[in-house]
């Protein structure tokens, strides 16, 4: 689940890398600007001080000799310099002696001038009518070391400030440009180096989450992300493999459960059938015995005689069904002995010989060589084979039935009984081996033949299945392990 306060990778890079970087740049810029400003201010102050010093000697002379004209001239020469706003000379009492430029803004009062005289050479900022002025004061000292007066040279603060504002503006523009450039570089760089690859991985994860389990991500980009993509692919493969395994296991379980259910059903039906057959055997024997005895006492070719013969024929048929039921329900342990396959085939064919001859059906493959010797309960397998052969003959009266076998490499004996009859209706395929499933009319089939065959083969550890025969009809395949456990 994505946390509500989650932020993007780009935001993280901007926040954790670029923001501190910008703070550092800002701090460095600000400190540089301060130094620059301080330097500029100092240089401007020095300029004024230089002007003051250059006129201070002639002024001192003129003051000593009391030549006001010279004083004014010296001041005027200073005033002509661009940076100078005004130049003023005061006597030792603080009285203004001469001035060049606008009236002295600060030294109107004598006391202030005197104080300035005593403090010696110094600079001072002064606010007059909302305008800042910088003044440089320099005492005018005569040869004897006595202070004769004071020189004041001023400069307009706006001069500095305009310059400083210009510098600040340029610095800010430079800083803004650098910031924008850095943001652009980081955003584009992040996208090209990491972002697009991470986006691709994230998009792939979203699609996988939606169920596209076959999806694989391509491993492009930096090594770490390539490794991540590879790990992701491995994980997806593992997930897919385990999902497939799980699915297969589930299907196997379902099939197993179905087989179990089927065999339990068969066992129950088998017990019931065997019980019923057992109970019917004795009365049928009695009916047949009585009919046989009664026959001796009736006229040949008389109606009672014909009725008794009919009774005996029907009893024989019922006896056959009872025997089949007993076969089906019999779950005696297998009595296995090594037997040659050839003998099994011969015995089974012998049992259907009459059916073959009666229907005129041709059997191919009965004269096969003796074949391998395998452990088997011959009676059970013989019954299975007889049932299959009989079904085949019934499916194609007058047609072809083929019996064949081969030893497979996996040590399984494969026996095939096929015919050129109509084949198996696809709708019936699943139910073919169910007991009592028959498509034959009453009296023709009991639906037990294939169940009996199925039981015999599976008890031998083998399998029975049906497929289409190249002859055109059905092909029943028995697979019997040659080395049973």
Please pick, from the candidates 419, 420, 456, 471, the single residue that binds ligand ADP as defined by CB under 6 A.
419
Per-residue mark of binding to ligand ADP, 43-62 (x: CB under 6 A):
--------------------
CA 445 to mean position of chain CA atoms: 58
Based on the shown chain and the rule CB under 6 A, indicate whether residue 431 belongs to the binding site for ligand ADP: no
- Pairwise CA distance, residues 70 & 55, whole Å: 11
Per-residue mark of binding to ligand ADP, 343-382 (x: CB under 6 A):
----------------------------------------
- Pairwise CA distance, residues 122 & 3, whole Å: 66
According to DSSP, residue 17 is labeled: I
- Taking CB under 6 A as the criterion, which residues in 216-255 touch ligand ADP? none
- Pairwise CA distance, residues 188 & 414, whole Å: 71
Rounded to a whole number of angstroms, the minimum distance from the CB of residue 388 to ligand ADP is 7
Q: Please answer whether residues 128 and 44 qualify as being in contact, where contact means their C-beta atoms are separated by less than 8 angstroms.
A: no
- Pairwise CA distance, residues 434 & 445, whole Å: 13
- Pairwise CA distance, residues 327 & 380, whole Å: 9
Rounded to a whole number of angstroms, the minimum distance from the CB of residue 386 to ligand ADP is 11
Q: Which is nearer to ligand ADP, 374 or 478 (CB)?
A: 478
Rounded to a whole number of angstroms, the minimum distance from the CB of residue 382 to ligand ADP is 15
Based on the shown chain and the rule CB under 6 A, indicate whether residue 392 belongs to the binding site for ligand ADP: yes
Rounded to a whole number of angstroms, the minimum distance from the CB of residue 480 to ligand ADP is 19
Please pick, from the candidates 152, 389, 446, 456, the single residue that binds ligand ADP as defined by CB under 6 A.
446
Rounded to a whole number of angstroms, the minimum distance from the CB of residue 281 to ligand ADP is 20
Q: In this structure, what is the dihedral angle of CA atoms 7, 13, 15, 17, given to the nearest 10 degrees?
A: 160
Rounded to a whole number of angstroms, the minimum distance from the CB of residue 394 to ligand ADP is 7
Task: Give which of 429, 371, 421 is closest to 401, Cα–Cα.
Answer: 421
Q: Is 158 helix (H, G, I), strand (E, B) or coil?
A: helix
Q: Which is nearer to ligand ADP, 83 or 394 (CB)?
A: 394
Please pick, from the candidates 86, 195, 449, 462, the single residue that binds ligand ADP as defined by CB under 6 A.
449
Q: Which is nearer to ligand ADP, 219 or 365 (CB)?
A: 365
Q: Please answer whether residues 402 and 356 qualify as being in contact, where contact means their C-beta atoms are separated by less than 8 angstroms.
A: no
Q: Given the rule CB under 6 A, which of 218-226, 252-260, 313-321, 435-443 is the region that contacts ligand ADP?
A: 435-443
Please pick, from the candidates 29, 101, 447, 472, the single residue that binds ligand ADP as defined by CB under 6 A.
447
Based on the shown chain and the rule CB under 6 A, indicate whether residue 383 belongs to the binding site for ligand ADP: no
Q: Given the rule CB under 6 A, which of 62-70, 173-181, 204-212, 441-449 is the region that contacts ligand ADP?
A: 441-449
Q: Which is nearer to ligand ADP, 303 or 426 (CB)?
A: 426
Based on the shown chain and the rule CB under 6 A, indicate whether residue 477 belongs to the binding site for ligand ADP: no
Rounded to a whole number of angstroms, the minimum distance from the CB of residue 428 to ligand ADP is 6
Based on the shown chain and the rule CB under 6 A, indicate whether residue 450 belongs to the binding site for ligand ADP: yes
Distant-in-sequence, close-in-space partners of 449: CB < 8 Å, separation ≥ 6: 324, 387, 388, 390, 391
Q: Given the rule CB under 6 A, which of 34-42, 257-265, 306-314, 430-438 is the region that contacts ligand ADP?
A: 430-438
Q: Which is nearer to ligand ADP, 139 or 421 (CB)?
A: 421
Rounded to a whole number of angstroms, the minimum distance from the CB of residue 389 to ligand ADP is 9
Nearest 5°: the CA angle 215, 221, 223 is 100
Binding residues for ligand ADP, rule CB under 6 A, total 21
Q: Which is nearer to ligand ADP, 59 or 389 (CB)?
A: 389
Tokens at residue 67, please? Answer: 């030549």
User: What one-character-per-residue DSSP string does 191-238 give?
Assistant: IIIIIHHHHHHHHHHHHHHTT-TT------SSHHHHHHHHHHHHHHHH
Q: Which is nearer to ligand ADP, 383 or 391 (CB)?
A: 391
Q: Is 402 helix (H, G, I), strand (E, B) or coil?
A: strand
Based on the shown chain and the rule CB under 6 A, indicate whether residue 473 belongs to the binding site for ligand ADP: yes
Taking CA atoms, 303 is separated from 273, 298, 309, in Å, by 35, 9, 10
User: 399 forms bridges with which residues in the sheet?
Assistant: none
Q: Which is nearer to ligand ADP, 93 or 439 (CB)?
A: 439
Q: Please answer whether residues 104 and 126 qualify as being in contact, where contact means their C-beta atoms are separated by less than 8 angstroms.
A: no
Please pick, from the candidates 246, 313, 440, 468, the single residue that binds ligand ADP as defined by CB under 6 A.
440
Q: Please answer whether residues 339 and 376 qualify as being in contact, where contact means their C-beta atoms are separated by less than 8 angstroms.
A: yes
Neighbours of 167 (CB within 10 A): 14
Please pick, from the candidates 149, 157, 221, 421, the single residue that binds ligand ADP as defined by CB under 6 A.
421
Q: Is 271 helix (H, G, I), strand (E, B) or coil?
A: helix
According to DSSP, residue 430 is labeled: G
Residue 365 phi, psi dihedral angles, 5° rounding: 95, 5
Residue 41 phi, psi dihedral angles, 5° rounding: -60, -45
> Interface residues with ligand ADP (CB under 6 A)?
387, 391-392, 395, 419, 421, 424, 432, 437-440, 445-451, 473-474
């Amino acid at each position: 689940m994505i946390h509500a306060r989650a932020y993007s990778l780009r935001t993280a890079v901007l926040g954790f890398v670029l923001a501190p970087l910008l703070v550092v740049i800002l701090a460095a810029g600000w400190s540089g600007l301060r130094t620059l400003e301080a330097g500029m201010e100092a240089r401007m102050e020095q300029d004024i001080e230089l002007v003051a010093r250059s006129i201070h000697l002639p002024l001192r002379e003129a003051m000593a000799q009391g030549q006001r004209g010279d004083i004014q001239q010296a001041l005027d020469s200073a005033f002509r310099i661009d940076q100078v706003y005004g130049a003023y000379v005061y006597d030792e009492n603080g009285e203004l002696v001469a001035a060049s430029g606008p009236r002295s803004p600060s030294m109107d009062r004598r006391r202030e001038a005197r104080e300035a005289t005593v403090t010696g050479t110094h600079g001072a900022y002064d606010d007059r009518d909302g305008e800042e002025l910088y003044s440089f004061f320099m005492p005018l000292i005569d040869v004897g070391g006595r202070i004769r007066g004071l020189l004041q040279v001023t400069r307009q603060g706006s001069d500095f400030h305009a310059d400083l504002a210009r510098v600040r503006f340029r610095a800010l523009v430079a800083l803004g440009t650098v910031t924008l450039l850095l943001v652009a570089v980081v955003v584009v760089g992040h996208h090209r180096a990491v972002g697009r690859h991470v986006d691709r991985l994230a998009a792939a994860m979203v699609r996988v989450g939606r169920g596209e389990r076959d999806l694989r991500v391509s491993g492009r980009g930096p090594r770490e992300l390539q490794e991540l993509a590879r790990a992701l692919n491995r994980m997806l493969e593992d997930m897919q493999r385990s999902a497939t395994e799980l699915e297969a296991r589930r299907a196997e379980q379902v099939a197993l459960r179905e087989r179990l259910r089927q065999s339990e059903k068969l066992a129950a039906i088998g017990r019931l059938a065997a019980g019923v057959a057992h109970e019917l055997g004795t009365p049928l024997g009695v009916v047949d015995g009585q009919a046989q005895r009664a026959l001796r006492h009736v006229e040949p070719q008389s109606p009672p005689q014909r009725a008794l013969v009919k009774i005996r024929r029907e009893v024989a048929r019922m006896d056959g069904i009872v025997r089949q039921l007993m076969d089906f329900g019999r779950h005696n342990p297998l009595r296995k002995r090594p037997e040659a396959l050839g003998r099994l085939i011969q015995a089974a064919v012998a049992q259907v010989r009459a059916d073959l001859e009666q229907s005129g059906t041709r059997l191919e493959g009965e004269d096969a060589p003796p074949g391998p010797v395998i452990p088997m309960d011959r009676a059970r397998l013989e019954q299975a084979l007889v049932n299959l052969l009989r079904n085949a003959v019934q499916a194609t009266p007058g047609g072809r039935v083929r019996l064949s076998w081969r030893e497979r490499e996996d040590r399984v004996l494969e026996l095939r009984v096929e015919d050129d009859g109509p084949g198996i209706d696809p709708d019936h395929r699943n139910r073919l081996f169910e007991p009592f499933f028959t498509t034959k009319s009453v009296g023709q089939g009991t639906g037990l033949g294939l169940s009996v065959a199925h039981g015999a083969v599976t008890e031998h550890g083998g399998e029975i299945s049906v497929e289409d025969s190249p002859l055109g009809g059905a092909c029943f395949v028995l697979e019997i392990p040659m080395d049973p456990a």
